[in-house]
Amino acid sequence: MGFPKISFRICETRHCPLYRYGDIFTVSGIAIDMESDGEHSFINTTVVHSPPGREHCKIFCGDLTKIIIEYERADQIPDCMISCSGCTGSIRLEHSQGFQADPNDPTDENNELSSIVHMLSSFSFFRNIDQNNLSSVIKFFKLKKFKKDDIIIRKGDPGGNFYVVVSGQVEVLNDAGISITTLNKGEVFGEMSLICDENVGATVQAGEECEALYIDHKRFKNILRKYPSLQLYFTRLLAKRLSDSNKVRSDDYASGMIGKLEEIPPEALFQTLNMNSKTGILTITQLPQGTARFSLRQGALIKATYAGVKGEEAFYEVLREKNGRFKFTPGLPPEDFDVPEIGYFMKLLMEGMQRVDEYHANN
């Protein structure tokens, strides 16, 4: 074929399940010895090498090979968009002979940002910036990669950067470390601590390998002042997030799914589960004497363990606690369907509350 070793870098992906922005494919030409009747002949062919650590997609590599063999010289191959014939994904590739990305080279980062300007223009945040000025605004951002489970910002820390998700997804966590919201490509986070000059309000963690653009506090404020349309964008975003947050909180408390005993005491929590005839397992953690577990069937208490005791005594013990985190998981294992009730719920609750009053009176 006559090609030297060449490389292709992904500069844009859409719904590809295997590859990410910045992944590099290398293509090399090899000669295959074909022997027939003692005669040797050589056929030039190509081999596509997938990025390190990624799966090899035969269909995509075949599509790339078809493009390569159309050209006689490497410098004739254009940057191209490949719509994979194996799925709904598509990938835009740029190429260069002997291309090697240096992760410490600042010019390479600038090239990465330049190569995704077209993609960023479709993000709701950047749509509020005049397209003639988009490139000049993007140059103030930096691109950073995160591994799965990396903490990007942590609740309580001083506000530092504003982020835009470029690929992958991130999870917004509640105080119990449970994901309450997933942010995908084009969505933003970290803005409220910068706008309100407050500490970060929620922890954000990489839900998978992802990339995000970020910009510091000072430059973020400068962009807000220069583009008033962004202020309306953030006002609407805040209103939507408050609405979503209130709905989640309402649904959580109605079902007793997650929360803190500081916000809903044990007696109220058990009453809520009983009145709503909930079936499942209630786990309460971060208690002074360890973890408590309770199984309920149609609101009735059928199993209880806490502080080394079981049954009604465990129930009475946990009613004294004022601090801890709880999670209710719907559903029971089949063997618990016929387990008898520990006792009539309201009678247990009244006895328990009486014991709590006596305990506080004597301590």
Please report the DSSP string for 307-358 in residue order.
TTEETHHHHHHHTT----EEEEEE---GGGTTPPPSS-HHHHHHHHHHHHHH
- Average pLDDT on 139-152 reads 91
> What is the pLDDT at residue 281?
93
Closest C-alpha to 315, from 339, 282, 340: 282
- pLDDT tens digits for range 19-72: 877 778 887 764 434 445 555 443 445 677 778 778 888 888 787 777 777 765
| CATH code, residues 112-252 | 2.60.120.10
Q: How confident is the model at residue 75 (pLDDT cuts 50, 70, 90)?
A: low
Confirm if 198 and 192 have CB atoms less than 8 A apart: yes
> Can you give the residue ranges of every domain in the chain?
6-101, 112-252, 258-361
Judged by DSSP in three states, 54 sits in coil
> Averaged over 279-308, what is the pLDDT?
94
pTM over cut 0.85: no
**pLDDT higher than 60, residue 140:** yes
Average pLDDT of the chain to the nearest whole number: 79
Q: Where are the beta strands (DSSP E) in 176-287?
A: 179-183, 188-189, 203-206, 210-216, 258-260, 280-287
Give the pLDDT band of residue 255 (cuts 50, 70, 90): low
Residue 118's pLDDT is what?
67
- pLDDT score for 147: 93
Q: What is the pLDDT of residue 178?
A: 75
pLDDT at 266 over 50: yes
Q: What residues contact residue 131 under an 8 Å CB cut-off, 6+ apart?
A: 121
- Which pLDDT score is estimated for 97? 46
At residue 290, the pLDDT reads 94
List Cα–Cα distances, 6 to 69, 231, 251, in angstroms. Answer: 13, 46, 55
More confident residue, 350 or 253: 350
Q: Which of 44-53, 140-149, 268-277, 329-338 has the lowest mean pLDDT?
A: 44-53
pLDDT at 151: 93
Q: Which residues, in sequence order, are bridge partners of residue 213?
A: 143, 164
Interatomic CA distance for residues 62 and 72, integer angstroms? 18
User: What is the bridge-based pairing of β-strands 280-287 and 290-297?
Assistant: antiparallel
Q: Is 238 exposed, middle or buried (0-12, 13-18, 19+ CB in 10 A)?
A: middle
Alpha-carbon torsion angle 243, 246, 248, 249, nearest 10: 170
Look at residue 29 in the predicted model and tell me its pLDDT. Answer: 61
Predicted local distance difference test score (pLDDT) of residue 252: 54
pLDDT at 1 over 70: no
Q: Which of 3-12, 100-109, 184-193 has the lowest mean pLDDT?
A: 100-109
